[in-house]
Amino acid sequence: MNALAGTSLAPRYMPARSGDVWYSRLDNNKASRLLVWKPKYDFVTGLSETLTYYKEQRR
């Protein structure tokens, strides 16, 4: 994220809160198979496009 955003921020880890999700994993294989669908962007490209969009919105 820092490399894409051009920053050098360090993450701040806070104590866990009640209701926090400990584990999460995305998998688009089922959508790809059933809908004959492919994502338009890979993860890094999508993240880069999202950062660019929000930077432009701040102007």
pLDDT tens digits, 14-31: 999 999 999 999 899 999
Residue 3 lies in a domain: no
pLDDT given for residue 59 in this prediction: 84
The structure's pTM equals 0.66
Quick check: is 22 in a domain? no
Q: Could you tell me if residue 45 is inside a domain?
A: yes
Does residue 50 have a pLDDT over 90? Answer: yes
In a domain, 39, yes or no: yes
- Count structural domains, the chain: 1
What is the per-residue pLDDT for 16?
Answer: 95
Q: What percent of the chain shows pLDDT beyond 90?
A: 92
Mean pLDDT of the chain: 94
Q: 16 lies in a domain?
A: no
Cβ-based burial of 51 (10 A; exposed 0-12, middle 13-18, buried ≥19): middle
**Residue range of the domain that includes 47:** 30-59
> What is the four-CA torsion angle of 8, 54, 22, 13, rounded to 10 degrees?
30
